[in-house]
Chain A
Amino acid sequence: MKYLHLVWASLFRRKTRTVLTLVSIIAAFLLFGLLDAVRTSFTQAGQSANGAARLQTGSKLSFIQTLPKSLLAQIERVDGVKAVTHANWFGGAYQDPHNQVFSFAVAPNYLDLYPEIVVGEAERKAFTATRTGALIGERLAQKFGWKVGDHVPLQSQIFPDKSGSKNWQFDIVGIMHSSDKKTGGFYDQMFLLNWKYFDDTTPYNQGSVGWYVTRVVDVNQADRVAKAIDALSANSDHETRTQTEQAATASWMKQLADIGLIVGSIMGAVFFTLLLLSGNTMMQAVRERTSEIAVLKTIGFSSRSVLAMVLAESVLLLMLGGLVGLGLATVVIPAISAGSGGMLNLPSVGAGSWVLGLALMASIGFAVGALPAWNAMRLNIVDALARR
């Protein structure tokens, strides 16, 4: 520690070179922060305690197939089930068919199973009481500038009403906020409507249900309950498939893209380049200080402390750049999330990313410092001073 100012001075001996190298390191770690956030947002989706305690039951045939409503009472009687609710995919779009809104027709008790969605008591009452009522996520409200009391038309891509028109009218009665932004960002973009209104209006549903959501009493019993629910409809014409919300989300994300592989390969290319670049800087830095290091040794610095100082210099270089880069990522990510208008919802740089980032900085620092530090340690005073 007492040599810190010496290390610092030698690091900034050539300001231009150090600053240019630092910018490269900052760029690399900024990218690392962004990509790791994307990766975490994929792996963390649905990985909450609530997600482990909720089961999703859908048709075994495919996710677009519906189930009979009679199953509701049967599931409620399964041992270990705390509460059951159900929902249908509504397929709403606003103004343009490609302007999709995540809209679901849900049972009145739907929100009871999602304690992480925060809605005012009065707003919930209004939702149950208003036939055409709708609850919307805060991001969705921002996106279209909707507020409570607004009368909004949605076009369903799938379901016409009895007259064949696919234009549906809704009255917004409340705004939903998700209490856990990290895993529940999706809830802020939802549009919930009353299942009863949906079922009464379209002639195509006739009392069927898209999927059931079950909350279990004990998380450790989730697998057993899931099997028991599937057993209810075994060998019928509506066999079901029940998974925890965690497993279901993870499987969807996996089908979307192998994000780990993509992020891994990009970062591999980036860090390989970085290794070469900062390695080159360190080699140059030590080479041009040959005579200074010889002087240091002459006045009594041990070979080992010279080694340590050069290593400290390269680790310091990487740490400086890396911390600024990751810090920049922390600032930039919320800006991107806000700028994309809810399209992208990235978690901020989490503790895991910081730890991984710090480990990378230290190991790259050691790797690039090793060779020049070794050379500096082995330096022969007489040869170096004589410029041989």
Chain B
Amino acid sequence: MRWLVNVLLFVFMLVVMALWVMLPWYAAIVLTLLLAAWLLLTRRGRQALSVANVGISTLGQRLGSTAVIVVGIAGVVGVLVALLSMAEGYAETLRKTGSTDTAIVMRGASASEVASVLDRDSVTLIQQAPGIARNDKGEPIASNELVVAANLPIKGGGPDEAGSVQLRGVSEQTWTVRPQVKIVAGKRFTPGLRELVVGRGAAKQFAGLEPGQEVRLGTQKWTVAGVFASGDAMESEIWGDASVVADTYRRGSSRASVTVRLADPQAFDAFKTALESNPQLKVDVTTTLAYFSKQSEGVTKVLRIIGITVGTIMAIGAMFGALNTMFAAVAARAREIATLRAIGFPGLPVVVAVMLETMLLALIGGIIGGLLAYLIFNGYGASTMAAGSVGKLSFELRVSPDLLWTGLKWALAIGFIGGLFPAMRAARLPVTTALREL
């Protein structure tokens, strides 16, 4: 019989957890308000509150075992949030790189810009398509680009240690296509010369990328003209004039992609249809938002799975720690609880009181963990070889309110399970046995 109840309890718990994971924050507020109302307005609620008060006021005397719950849960939430913020920061950086009012055209079935090759005729045809915004002179605002890799010495690395950076050859229109790109030091490169502008992220990772310095790309010497900031994935790249880059890499007049500014986001469909129905062209057209979001998908998914796996294993550990502490707490108070029952308190307030105590500790742990993750990791610089690119991508970890909420939900879930079983034991303890115990 008892086992059956425990099994039912377990199933109930799983259902609660499943619902809990999907719960949005406003529903949680409603739940909290309902609980508060029940505690304050009903007789049972007030009883539960006063029993909980006794438990909570003695927390200070059990500092060691209380800390097990708080620190254990803070650890889970901190690690979980930190790992998920990596996924979030990575996805966010790539998402920001794209927008709905710019489109990228590549050769058909190319997974990324690096793999795409467009010949000179295609590039010209693409620029004539309808839907492209035009500048004052009536020219289409489109940047014909070439994406290659360059080996550069890593900052702080050994003498022979080189890393790969994505080198983008761009045309003059690029500054109009991507108005978010701002020069923060030095000046733009001069078309036709071996000059580079380098992204802020790239300048941080590779040695010698400062305005006025010279870097070697293969046998050639290039001068760094300036540093640019854009707040997105472009910052990890270095840029030069497309025709000069094509010369260095022996690419002739071919280009990898054309990025165009659309007259307005609605013009995309017309632009796409015009290019894809053109029999002379075999190209894929996507908005840059869709392109860069797609690039981040795989890595983000892997990072999320890692975060959740590590979080789950840690959560199991923390949950059993909480169970242990609360069983001990209930055992220490067995007499008090039995006395309450003997003078007429029903089981429910006792259960609720123990649960309240655990959830409170879990909440504190969750808040500490989230706060620590936020303070240490929000804006923390990281880098990795990005999918679909040939260079290192720098990005910042991002602890969003959404993630903090996820962390709190985990904390409360651990507290819920950690409190439920000890609470049930407290309520079930036969009054006479408990009173007679030591």
The answer on A and B forming one complex is yes
Which residues of A line the B interface, CB within 8 A? 16-17, 20-21, 23-25, 27-28, 30-31, 34-35, 59-65, 91, 93, 97-98, 100, 155, 157-158, 164, 166, 204, 235-237, 239, 241, 251-252, 255-257, 265-266, 269-270, 272-274, 276-277, 279-281, 283-284
Beyond A237-B219, A266-B79, A284-B65, is A20–B111 a contact (Cβ under 8 Å)?
no
Task: Give B106 Cβ to nearest chain A Cβ, in Å.
Answer: 10
CB atoms of B217 and A17 under 8 A apart: no
CB atoms of A273 and B110 under 8 A apart: no
CB atoms of A97 and B111 under 8 A apart: yes
Contacts of A28 in B (CB 8 A): 317
| B313 sits at the interface (CB 8 A) | yes
Q: How far is the CA of A270 from the CA of B315 in the complex (A)?
A: 10
Name the CB-closest residue of A to B418: A20
Q: How far is the CA of A252 from the CA of B151 in the complex (A)?
A: 12
Contacts of B310 in A (CB 8 A): 31, 35, 266
Contacts of A59 in B (CB 8 A): 218
Using a Cβ–Cβ cut-off of 8 Å, how many residues does chain B contribute to the interface with A?
54
Give 15 pairs: A residue, B residue, CB < 8 Å, sorted on A: A17-B324, A20-B320, A21-B324, A24-B324, A64-B114, A93-B111, A98-B111, A157-B109, A158-B117, A251-B162, A270-B75, A273-B72, A273-B75, A281-B324, A283-B64
Q: How far is the CA of A158 from the CA of B106 in the complex (A)?
A: 12
- Find B75's partner among A60, A272, A280 (CB 8 Å cutoff): A272
Q: Once A and B bind, how many residue pairs between them come within 8 Å at the CB atom?
A: 149
Contacts of B249 in A (CB 8 A): 61-62, 65
Beyond A63-B149, A158-B115, is A273–B321 a contact (Cβ under 8 Å)?
yes
Task: Give A132 Cβ to nearest chain B Cβ, in Å.
Answer: 20
CB atoms of B392 and A255 under 8 A apart: yes
| B361 sits at the interface (CB 8 A) | no
Task: Give B163 Cβ to nearest chain A Cβ, in Å.
Answer: 6
- Find A21's partner among B75, B79, B219, B320 (CB 8 Å cutoff): B320
CB atoms of B151 and A24 under 8 A apart: no
Name the CB-closest residue of B to A273: B75
Interface of chain A, helix or strand or loop or mixed? Answer: helix
Task: Give A361 Cβ to nearest chain B Cβ, in Å.
Answer: 15
Contacts of B67 in A (CB 8 A): 276, 280
Contacts of B325 in A (CB 8 A): 280
Name the CB-closest residue of A to B295: A98
CB atoms of A24 and B321 under 8 A apart: yes
Beyond A20-B320, A59-B218, A235-B219, is A155–B385 a contact (Cβ under 8 Å)?
no
Contacts of B320 in A (CB 8 A): 20-21, 23-24, 27
CB atoms of B324 and A256 under 8 A apart: no
Q: How far is the CA of A284 from the CA of B318 in the complex (A)?
A: 18
Name the CB-closest residue of B to A266: B79
CB atoms of B385 and A255 under 8 A apart: yes
Contacts of B218 in A (CB 8 A): 59-61, 65, 237, 239
Q: How far is the CA of A245 from the CA of B150 in the complex (A)?
A: 20
Within 8 A of A (CB), among B214-254: 217-219, 248-249
Contacts of B117 in A (CB 8 A): 158, 204
CB-CB nearest 10 A-B residue pairs: A27-B317, A62-B149, A61-B218, A157-B115, A20-B324, A24-B317, A273-B75, A97-B111, A23-B320, A277-B321
